[in-house]
Structures are given as C-alpha cells and as structure tokens.
Amino acid sequence: MSSFSPLHLINKHAAIAMILASVLGFAFPDEANMLLSHLPQVLFFLMFFTLIGINQPKLVRMLSRYDTWSYAVWHSLGLTALLVSLAYLAGERGEMLLAIAAVMATGSLFGAPAIIRSMGFSPMYAMALTIATTLVMPVVLFVNLYCFQTGDVHLDWALYIERLLIFIVGPMALSALVHRVFSETQLHHVHQQLSKITILLVMAFPFGLVGAYRHLFDSQPLRALSMLGLGVCLVVVPYVLSFYASRQFYRFDIEHSVSAAVSSGARNLLLTYTIAAPFVGVEFMPLAGAMQLPIYALPLLTKWWLAKMHKVAA
C-alpha cells in the first residue's frame, strides 16, 4: 500500500479525521441521522474487530489488577455521583438529569486504545479500562436509569437484557471463541489487515451522532450552545479528575495516567443509546451530539500538551 494512500493518511491523522467527521455530521444532519440507524451494527463489528486484535493473556493480567477495577467503579459510579450532584445544584432536573446520569454510566469508547496508540503509548492498559468499564456499565446504567427515570421514561427489563446480550455479551463471546479456534499469530495477521479499515468504522460515530444536536441548534440555538458547554464539562471534568487521581493517588506514570484520562473523557455513547434507547429520554441524543467535538478534540490537545511538556523537559 502506498504511503500516500487515503487510508494511510486517515490513520496517520486520526484525531483530525474524527474532528472533521463530527463537523461534517453537523453540516449534514439528515445524512447523519440516516447513518445513525445503522450504527448499532457498525458498533457490534467494531467491538468484535477490536477484541480479536488483543493479546488475551496480557489483557487478562491487566484485568486482574485492582487499580483497573477501582478505576471502572470511579469511572461509572463515582463520576455519576459527582456530575449528577453538580448538575442538580446547577438547576438541572427531569430528562436532562436522566441524560447526564446515562452518560456518566457509559463505558469508555472502544476507540480509546487507538487514540492512546496514536499518542505513542501502548494501548493495552486503555483496552483493559475499556473492557472493565463496559462490564461495569450495565449495572450502573440500570441503577442510574431506575433512579432518574421520569414519568415518560420507564425501564423495560426484558428489552434491556436482550440488548445487553446482543451488543455487549455477543461480541465478547464471539471474540473469545475466535481466540480458542485460531492461533495468536493468525489473529495478529488478520487484525493488521482489519486495522487499516477500522478507523473508517470509528469515524462513523462522530458523524452519525451529531444529527440530533444540529436539529436542536436549528430550532433553539442558544439552548444548543448551552448544551455544548455542558457537553464540554462532561468530557473535560472526568478527564482532568482521572488524570489527577492517577498521578496523585495511584502514582502512575504519564502513559497510564493519560490512558485513564482519555478513557474517562471519551465514552461509548452509542452503546448506551443502543441498549437503552427507549429509556434515556429525549435529551440524551442532543447531549451525545454536543459531546462529540470535545471527545475527539481533547486527544489532539493532549498530544499538543505532551509534545510541549517533552520539549520543555528536553
């Protein structure tokens, strides 16, 4: 493959490509909403493709660490308590509070390991955090939806469990089966080929998730700008707090601290929408759309900050 191929350029500048995808989704909301209906299928295969490329023994060792699971509880339960409390004190009520609670229960973005890799770090710890927060997510999401459901939003146990089995248990079980049937060498070769196009699957999410936010912007621009500010807070506050906690309490190095911070700020909002769409209320999708630009801009700012810090240290 030529070094000047489109796929090579997209992979090399993945952070910019994600930002551009969110901007294009905002510019073409009808097309974004058309893609949204197909994103659950894209999500299934993205999760499956990501999992088959992971070294299972190393991942199991990472998942056996206490700090991985304590982070997962902080990511979902701790940040729910903190951000929902702050939102309540700021005057948010009803379905907006429900949407914030659903966002905070959401596990890390499955693209987080790729983001960490683009920064020059090992993606293994980010993948462990992603898996852990995804496994914790169903319980915390259920508790959040149960506690903050409104008169128009009620939780359907059967539908909720069915979607959990399809979109979380399904790709995990299928990837585990593939790892039992094929050797790690074979899977590594296959994943090398898949990784060249996986970035295109990831780009579908910032494009497809911003349609509802654009329609809100067209009808209520001031409210949309206010929601964008909220979206920035829901990305930046968890990022900063997780980075600080990793450095001060766990005494992690920069690599692990950045992995924790990026995993905390970037959340798999489509997964929450896919398994709980009838229960998260009408505010969830506009809020998810408002979060797309900060989710994908923050890694780019992090790369700039790390480069500046490295230059100062030199």
**How do residues 102-129 score in pLDDT, each as one tens digit?**
999 999 998 788 788 777 788 889 989 9
Structure tokens at 58: 């190393």
Highest mean pLDDT among 108-112, 129-133, 212-216, 299-303: 212-216
**Residue 108 CB contacts under 8 Å (≥ 6 apart), including other chains:** 75, 126, 129, 130, 133, 134, 263, 264, 266, 267, 268
**pLDDT for residue 48:** 86
pLDDT at 3 exceeding the cut of 70: no
Q: 252-268 pLDDT, tens per residue?
A: 888 889 999 999 999 99
Q: What is the pLDDT of residue 268?
A: 92
Select the highest-mean-pLDDT range: 38-42, 168-172, 189-193, 231-235. Answer: 231-235
Least confident segment among 88-92, 106-110, 121-125, 238-242:
121-125
- The reported pLDDT for the residue numbered 314 is 58
Q: How confident is the model at residue 192 (pLDDT cuts 50, 70, 90)?
A: confident
Residue 303's nearest CA partner among 62, 12, 53 is 12
167 three-state secondary structure: helix
**Does position 4 have pLDDT exceeding 60, yes or no?**
no
CA-to-CA separations, 204 to 8, 40, 86, in angstroms, rounded: 17, 11, 32
Return d(Cα 273, Cα 18) in angstroms, integer: 20
Q: Give CA 130 to chain center in angstroms.
A: 8
Average pLDDT value for the chain: 87
Share of the chain above pLDDT 90, in %: 46
In eight-state DSSP terms, residue 267 is: B
Is 50 in contact with 110 (CB distance < 8 Å)? yes
pLDDT score of 61 more than 60? yes
* Average pLDDT rounded to a whole number, residues 184-189: 80
Task: Identify the pLDDT of residue 287.
Answer: 97
User: pLDDT band for position 1 (50/70/90)?
Assistant: very low
What is the band of 30 on the pLDDT scale with cuts at 50, 70, 90?
very high
23: number of Cβ within 10 Å: 16
Mean pLDDT over 55-71 rounds to 88
Residue 165 DSSP one-character state: I
